[in-house]
Amino acid sequence: MLGAFRQGQLVTVQFSKVRRWVRGDEGYTICVDLFDESGSENLARRAPLAERLRPKTLDEVVGQPHLTGEDGPLRAAVERRRIDSLILWGPPGTGKTTLARVLASTVEEEFVPLSAVTSGVKDLRGALDGARERLKYEDRGTLVFVDEVHRFNKTQQDALLPALEEGLVDFIGATTENPSFEVTAPLLSRSRVLRLRSLSEEDLGVLVGRGMEEMGVEVSAEAREYLLRLAGGDGRRLLNALEVAASGAQQRVQVADVERAVGQRSLRYGREEHYDVISAFIKSVRGGDPDAALHYLARMLEAGEDPVFVARRLVILASEDVGNADPDSLPLAVAAAQAVQLIGMPEGRIPLAQATTYLASAPKSNAAYAAIGRALEDVRRGSVPEVPMHLRNAPTSLMKEEGYGSGYRYAHDDEPEGMNDRYLPDELAGRVYYEPKERGAEAEIRERIERWRKEREDRPSNQAPTS
């Protein structure tokens, strides 16, 4: 049983096997099992290299100079000694958790980490209750850090709002996903979003140097270059790979050691990458670069993108960007989409690659796409005159007596090859929507339509059918 203590007095209590430090401070008691201290030391020795090298100050942080530099927002927060609410958005291994820990220690606040993957509203409320007690009895602030905050649902994110409103805690949320999509508007409006960038090769080189010094190993130039390339801007991945490679190396880490340790790098492909990569893919096909298009196609397929989604985009692109410059593009894209649905993956990559390279290499025209856009714009602005009488349907005798369909000239029975009559309402006479381009098969279409238009203008308007 613990002995009594006076307020504000530190008392050491000896048990048979356990000794505790007990601090009484305005009625608030902290008990620390000294076995915990020993356990912490053992845990520190077993910690991964990335954890052992975790920076303690902003000056030790590698990368993110736009945030940690003299004019950076995090430097300013440290000088004010108040963090407020931040959302750190960036790729994995760029220092989001590190920055949160550094900020908490710098402003001398209690750091309370939560993982949105394993924590719920109960855990969050427990952390907020602890923050209230800490502020009351120790006059010390609390920094609540929520990793993967985008995994919190709306109810969980809303539970933070009252504490942020009253200033009970400082808050840092870390996310690899675009906060615009994944963080609720109320939480977003109360937080400042700071974007972290992937670590550069220079930044990663600094980490390699620190890792070599910590472990007392050497790394060959080839292995160093391979590590930097495999890391993909992820500092944690780099250090984990270096540690595993070093454990299996004889004297010096070589490329073979890294290959055994790392294997193939998995791709980042969240919601933002989904939109970014498909955008780059479409623009590469539109721009006529089959090699770039295949690169982005491979990235999507390797990351597990839905191949049917890619196929649908190719069908749209075949009409929007190739159009009548190559009329075979649309049926080929449709056939590729059907083939993907029929055979599935991984074989579906083959018709996708065929359609991608064909469309990228085909002559391009967006004339049909632009034409329907112009026509819709007219209609939406109210340019909807009555349908000309000679073009109207006349299924009843009454409608025929009213003149519906009167004077219509059946194109197949008329001598002119095309445009044997005027079809637009008089109010839109002369309006041109479709303007074929002089590319691929559409060049022939352009020549034919221009000839038809000229022949119609030169033809007497009351010319009768020849048959």
Using one digit for the tens of pLDDT, what is the confidence trace for 114-142?
A: 999 898 889 999 999 999 999 999 999 99
Mean per-residue pLDDT over the chain, rounded: 85
Query: Of the candidates 148, 173, 181, which has an alpha carbon nearest to the alpha carbon of residue 275?
Result: 181
The yes-or-no verdict on residue 454 having pLDDT over 60 is yes
Q: How would you class 161 by CB atoms within 10 Å of its CB: exposed for 0-12, middle for 13-18, buried for 19 or more?
A: middle
The yes-or-no verdict on residue 452 having pLDDT over 60 is yes
pLDDT at 249 (0 to 100): 80
Please say whether the beta carbons of 405 and 394 come within 8 A.
yes
pLDDT at 269 (0 to 100): 64
- At 21, list the tokens: 């430090």
Tens-place pLDDT, residues 374-412: 999 999 998 889 999 888 988 898 888 888 888 888 888
**pLDDT band per the 50, 70, 90 thresholds, residue 208:** very high
Longest alpha-carbon distance in the chain: 119
Distance of alpha carbon 285 from the chain centroid:
21
Q: Does this model's pTM top 0.85?
A: no
Q: Where do you find CATH 3.40.50.300 in the chain?
A: 64-195
Euclidean distance between CA atoms 317 and 357, whole angstroms: 13
pLDDT at 31 (0 to 100): 43
Q: Return the CATH number of the domain spanning residue range 382-458.
A: 1.10.3710
pLDDT at 457 (0 to 100): 84
The region of weakest confidence among 192-196, 265-269, 336-340 is 265-269
**pLDDT band per the 50, 70, 90 thresholds, residue 256:** confident
**pLDDT band per the 50, 70, 90 thresholds, residue 325:** very high
Say which residues have a Cβ less than 8 Å from residue 264's Cβ, sequence separation at least 6.
none
The yes-or-no verdict on residue 4 having pLDDT over 80 is no
pLDDT at 147 (0 to 100): 93
pLDDT at 362 (0 to 100): 96
pLDDT at 43 (0 to 100): 61
- Cross-strand bridge partners of residue 13: 20
Consecutive H or E run containing 19: strand 19-25
Mean pLDDT of 337-349: 92
Q: What is the number of other CB atoms lying within 10 angstroms of the CB of residue 229?
A: 12
Q: Where do you find CATH 1.10.8.60 in the chain?
A: 202-262
Which tops the pLDDT comparison, 320 or 418? 320
pLDDT at 88 (0 to 100): 95
Tens-place pLDDT, residues 268-309: 666 778 889 999 999 999 999 999 999 999 999 988 888 999
Which tops the pLDDT comparison, 311 or 463? 311
Which tops the pLDDT comparison, 22 or 131? 131
Any idea which architecture 64-195 has in CATH? Answer: 3-Layer(aba) Sandwich (3.40)
Query: Of the candidates 302, 301, 284, which has an alpha carbon nearest to the alpha carbon of residue 293?
Result: 284
Highest mean pLDDT among 376-380, 450-454, 463-467: 376-380
- Cross-strand bridge partners of residue 174: 88
The yes-or-no verdict on residue 2 having pLDDT over 50 is no
- At residue 105, the 3 state secondary structure works out as helix
pLDDT at 271 (0 to 100): 72
The yes-or-no verdict on residue 446 having pLDDT over 90 is yes
- Cross-strand bridge partners of residue 147: 115
pLDDT at 236 (0 to 100): 92
Hey, which CATH number is domain 202-262, 1.10.8.60, 1.10.260.40, 3.30.70.270, 3.10.20.30? 1.10.8.60
**pLDDT band per the 50, 70, 90 thresholds, residue 8:** very low
pLDDT at 193 (0 to 100): 95
Q: Where do you find CATH 1.20.272.10 in the chain?
A: 271-361
**pLDDT band per the 50, 70, 90 thresholds, residue 39:** low
pLDDT at 21 (0 to 100): 39
Q: Return the CATH number of the domain spanning residue range 271-361.
A: 1.20.272.10
pLDDT at 15 (0 to 100): 37
Euclidean distance between CA atoms 191 and 184, whole angstroms: 11
Tens-place pLDDT, residues 53-89: 999 999 999 999 999 998 899 998 888 888 889 999 9
Euclidean distance between CA atoms 321 and 281, whole angstroms: 13
pLDDT at 461 (0 to 100): 60
**pLDDT band per the 50, 70, 90 thresholds, residue 27:** very low
Tens-place pLDDT, residues 152-185: 999 999 999 999 999 999 999 999 999 998 899 9
Distance of alpha carbon 397 from the chain centroid:
62
Count how many residues are written for the chain.
467
DSSP H helical segments within 139-234, as ranges?
Answer: 154-158, 161-165, 179-182, 185-189, 201-215, 221-231
